[in-house]
């Protein structure tokens, strides 16, 4: 089945970087964009950006511009999200999600499906 | 940036009742680009509705979505115990692809 499996929890010090991986299976990895979304404890969902595995093109939310880098290794069907200059406010669960476009017969209907299980990143001194 | 405002923040209902969740956008959103997700504690979000009104694979028909422009609604016709969760709407029409703040559906 279509599945995204993420790397394990991380603990980082302020100012450090973290790199989270997201391994895809059950579909052709290069055919779909991967998006990244984060969720602080008890809070809502925050979209961070997207990456196209074929072209390497990316689009980042302005809030994360300059601090986030999204890449992939197509040979192992894995996407990566690296966040630098970490601060305590970056403590959150980070999710990857495949952007899927359903064809309605007259338009493509985009959505995120499926999602990875999430990776907890804790930033603490 | 399109801001999505969900209401109510918390909805307390009993199994068997009807739930109506609202998602209001600060600017018009093409219905093609409006989705709903369900999230249970400790789990990743799960796709419920795409294109404002289309149920995802495996989603029971008690879930339905409607709306256009700036006002969208998720309706659960008869609540089952497993439906108590947090629900998010999301727009994919304009970057950044924002989410609403969520509606928590709790057992009364």
Q: Which of B32, B51, B88 sits opposite A45 (nearest CB)?
A: B88
Residues of chain A contacting B45 with CB distance shorter than 8 Å:
37, 45, 95, 97, 112, 115
> In chain A, which residue's Cα lies nearest the Cα of B30?
A109
In whole angstroms, give the CA distance from residue B85 to residue B41: 7
Place of tokens 């804790």: A122
In whole angstroms, give the CA distance from residue A19 to residue A45: 19
And the tokens for A89? 């406010």
Average pLDDT estimate for A25-50: 97
pLDDT in tens, B80-89: 999 999 999 9
Average pLDDT estimate for A48-67: 96
Residues of chain B contacting A111 with CB distance shorter than 8 Å:
35, 47, 50-51, 56, 90, 92
pLDDT confidence of residue A95: 98
Q: Do A61 and B96 touch (CB under 8 A)?
A: yes
Running DSSP on this structure, what letter comes out for residue A55? T
Provide, rounded to the nearest whole percent, the portion of chain B with pLDDT above 90.
94
Q: How many residues does chain B have?
A: 108
Residue A43 binned pLDDT confidence (cut-offs 50, 70, 90): very high
Average pLDDT estimate for A43-66: 96
pLDDT at B102 over 80: yes
- How far away is chain B from the Cα of A120, in angstroms, using its nearest Cα? 11
pLDDT at A41 over 90: yes
Residue A104 binned pLDDT confidence (cut-offs 50, 70, 90): confident
pLDDT at B30 over 90: no
A53 touches B: beta carbon within 8 Å:
no
Residues of chain B contacting A59 with CB distance shorter than 8 Å:
95
Q: Which residues contact B87 (CB under 8 A, 6 or more apart)?
A: B6, B21, B36, B37, B38, B39, B48, B74, B102, B103, B105
Q: Do B35 and A112 touch (CB under 8 A)?
A: yes
pLDDT confidence of residue A105: 84
Residue B65 binned pLDDT confidence (cut-offs 50, 70, 90): very high
Sheet architecture: strand order including B10-13: B10-13, B103-107, B86-91, B34-39, B46-50, B54-55
pLDDT at B32 over 90: no
Q: Is residue A110 a contact partner of residue A7, using CB atoms and an 8 Å limit? A: no
A55 touches B: beta carbon within 8 Å:
no
Average pLDDT estimate for B79-100: 96
pLDDT confidence of residue A106: 85
Q: Which of B50, B97, B101 sits opposite A109 (nearest CB)?
A: B50
């Amino acid at each position: 089945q279509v599945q995204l499996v993420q790397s394990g929890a991380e603990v980082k010090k302020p100012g450090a970087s973290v790199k989270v991986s997201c391994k895809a299976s059950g579909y052709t990895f290069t055919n779909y964009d991967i998006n990244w979304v984060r969720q602080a404890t008890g809070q809502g969902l925050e979209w961070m950006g997207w990456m196209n595995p074929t072209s390497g093109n990316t689009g980042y939310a302005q809030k994360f511009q300059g601090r986030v880098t999204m890449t992939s290794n197509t040979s192992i069907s894995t996407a990566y999200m690296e966040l630098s200059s970490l601060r305590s406010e970056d403590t959150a669960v980070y999710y990857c999600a495949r952007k899927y476009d359903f064809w309605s017969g007259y338009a493509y209907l985009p959505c995120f499906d499926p999602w990875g299980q999430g990776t907890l990143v804790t930033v603490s001194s | 940036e399109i801001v999505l405002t969900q209401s109510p923040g918390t909805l307390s209902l009993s199994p068997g009742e009807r739930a109506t969740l609202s998602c209001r956008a600060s600017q018009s959103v093409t219905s093609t680009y409006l989705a709903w997700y369900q999230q249970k504690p400790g789990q990743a979000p799960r796709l419920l509705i795409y294109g404002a009104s289309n149920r995802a694979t495996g989603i029971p028909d008690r879930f339905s979505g409607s709306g256009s422009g700036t006002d969208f609604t998720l309706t659960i016709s008869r609540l089952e115990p497993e439906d108590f969760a947090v629900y998010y709407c999301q727009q994919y029409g304009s970057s950044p692809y924002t989410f609403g703040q969520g509606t928590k559906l709790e057992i009364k």
